[in-house]
Amino acid sequence: MTALACDIGGTNIKLGLVAQGRVLQSTSLPSGSDRPLRERLTPLAEACEALCRQAHTTPSACAGIAVGFPALVDRQRGRILTEHGKYCDGPAVDLPAWARQRWNIPLALENDASLALIGEWRNGAGRGCDNLVMITLGTGIGTAVILEGRVLRGRHGQAGNLGGHLVVNFDGRAGPGTVAGSVESESSSLALPEIARSLPGFPDSRLTQIPRLDYEAVFRLAAENDAGAVALRQRTLAVWSALVISLIHAFDPERILVGGGIMRSADVIVPVLAQAARSAYTPWGQVTVAAGELGDNAALLGAEWLLQERFE
Amino acid sequence: MTALACDIGGTNIKLGLVAQGRVLQSTSLPSGSDRPLRERLTPLAEACEALCRQAHTTPSACAGIAVGFPALVDRQRGRILTEHGKYCDGPAVDLPAWARQRWNIPLALENDASLALIGEWRNGAGRGCDNLVMITLGTGIGTAVILEGRVLRGRHGQAGNLGGHLVVNFDGRAGPGTVAGSVESESSSLALPEIARSLPGFPDSRLTQIPRLDYEAVFRLAAENDAGAVALRQRTLAVWSALVISLIHAFDPERILVGGGIMRSADVIVPVLAQAARSAYTPWGQVTVAAGELGDNAALLGAEWLLQERFE
């Protein structure tokens, strides 16, 4: 089959035409997530049609369109369940009806982290393993779980996707948009500036010169032995290590995949998280930790499996 | 059907004859868990046979025997997977073969926390709800999960059963038999004495007079306004609240059941944990928190469903 794939993010919407585990064509457009989703549907549709023209086909000739969306979703009904200041009208938009009207093809909606994990499972670093957890380290921290070959979803679409809100500090700081002491409140990009300021070495650190502190800056300065950045990197890796251990104890995976832009520093991150995984209780053997292989294409490459699961 | 049920604990082995969601007869014998399990099988079998005689039946006339065991188990093969200083030969014992040879009936093995949750689900505080998490607060802290009407188990029998080892303090203390900063290391009975000594009010507290500190003493003295006990109770409830939030974010339950001997203080514990549940992210509605209803009989009352699931 040839499938359309659409990975809707906070900054960009990535579109692809995929077949047999390969991205044939791809493009992206600005997400415009401060505007209603309904306003983005026409440019999105036109971009899909242009993409198909380049490959000498049409959306209507595709087996369907898979959409990854950065929120909790109701997969059965194809509806967005939650809204976090992006695409304020998301929950009111009937995406399957839109795809049916415009192209007469089925649309499958999935949480973005789950769709990226499906892509890595079928075509990337999760191949050959039916018990997987994926952690995506971005502005927020997303997780997804495949357990005995099934995507874990739960009654309300929450199971497995809220690892960023597991509590790793029962006495911890409140964070923006999350519970006190959660992984996100203790390590998300949004929380980084406040955490940095609380560290003793901060005033003498070159971190003070960074206008918008993010992981990239922390890992870059830590690699240059800036003491404040080293301390912040160590604290952040301790939080992520706690997450790894909790995810192993919760979900019984055989492999943990880690994705997100900061995985350019995979050579530092993966060994630390692998060490954490070794301290978890797994009498059956050893959970491996690996970087995702597919980068930005992971969600696009989950499209074919998702459409097959939903409509075959 | 009439089923034999056997709940093997660290202190006692509880036996029951159950039918239609009721315990017809029950008895218990000392666990003798410092000895090999094989040595306990003859007294255990004789106790089952005596129990059946009281009800004018025999084990061979029962539909089967369900066994809850305090370890990770391989449900398919009916084997104990792990050993924690109790019944050192557990993993070598073929319980299904034993039941077949002695009585020619099938034996279904389950983790003890999962079997107690099954009992509450079919016959107790979980009735009518197919998305449940149970927390058992004992010497250790056990958890079990039912997700969309299926007992969560995972590839190696670990999924859902290791909630006591979720990390709630990424910078936390090492604990006996668990990872640093886990729920058990921060709040199990085994860790209580050390945690108590670390609290500022401890030297002036009547806790100092308790030879073997346990939750019962902490909650009793806290109810009498002993300041050290109040501080320790508050810290413990903060740890369990973090566990509740993490379990909601991991597993998407609609109801959380809490069991264990300390639930004699349910009037103090349940409102605090219910408050924690309200702070979790559940846009679909509200997770309720309730005390288990079946007490020591919970695992026995899971026997019928387990045997049906396994052998029908």
ipTM: 0.95
Give the type of residue at A20.
Answer: Q
CA distance B237 to chain A (A): 10
Q: Do A179 and B279 touch (CB under 8 A)?
A: yes
The pLDDT value given to residue A177: 83
CA neighbor of B186 nearest in space, from A165, A171, A187: A171
| Residue ranges for chain B with pLDDT beneath 50 | none
Give the type of residue at A274.
Answer: A
The pLDDT value given to residue A252: 98
A56 interface with B at CB cutoff 8 Å: no
Chain B residues inside the 8 Å CB shell of A280: 165, 179
B288 and B277 Cβ atoms separated by less than 8 Å: yes
The pLDDT value given to residue B174: 84
pLDDT single digits (tens) B223-260 = 999 999 999 999 999 999 999 999 999 999 999 999 99
CA neighbor of B112 nearest in space, from B157, B176, B149, B51: B157
Query: What is the C-alpha to C-alpha distance for residues B209 and B228, in angstroms, rounded to an integer?
Result: 12
Q: Do A154 and B171 touch (CB under 8 A)?
A: no
Pick among B73, B173, B246 to test the A interface (most A CBs inside 10 A): B246
Sign of CA dihedral B167, B168, B174, B176: negative
Closest-approach residue (CA) in chain B for A174: B279
List of residues 6+ apart from A299 with CB closer than 8 A: A5, A7, A14, A68, A112, A115, A116, A119
B138 interface with A at CB cutoff 8 Å: no
B200 and B220 Cβ atoms separated by less than 8 Å: no
Query: What is the C-alpha to C-alpha distance for residues A103 and A89, in angstroms, rounded to an integer?
Result: 22
Query: What is the C-alpha to C-alpha distance for residues A265 and A163, in angstroms, rounded to an integer?
Result: 21
Maximum Cα interatomic distance, chain A, rounded to a whole number of Å: 61
Query: What is the C-alpha to C-alpha distance for residues A32 and A16, in angstroms, rounded to an integer?
Result: 18
A280 interface with B at CB cutoff 8 Å: yes
Q: Which residues pair with B288 in a beta bridge?
A: B255
Q: Do A245 and B165 touch (CB under 8 A)?
A: yes
CA dihedral defined by B149, B61, B21, B29, rounded to 10 degrees? -100
| Residue ranges for chain A with pLDDT beneath 70 | none
Give the Å distances, CA to CA, from B126 to B20, B147, B150, B289.
16, 12, 13, 10
Q: How many CB pairs under 8 A join A and B?
A: 147
Phi, psi of A273, deg, nearest 5: -70, -30
**Structural domains in chain A plus CATH codes:** 2-118+297-311 (3.30.420.40), 129-292 (3.30.420.40)
B174 interface with A at CB cutoff 8 Å: no
Maximum Cα interatomic distance, chain B, rounded to a whole number of Å: 61
Q: Do B171 and A238 touch (CB under 8 A)?
A: yes
**DSSP structural state of residue A182:** B
The pLDDT value given to residue B11: 84
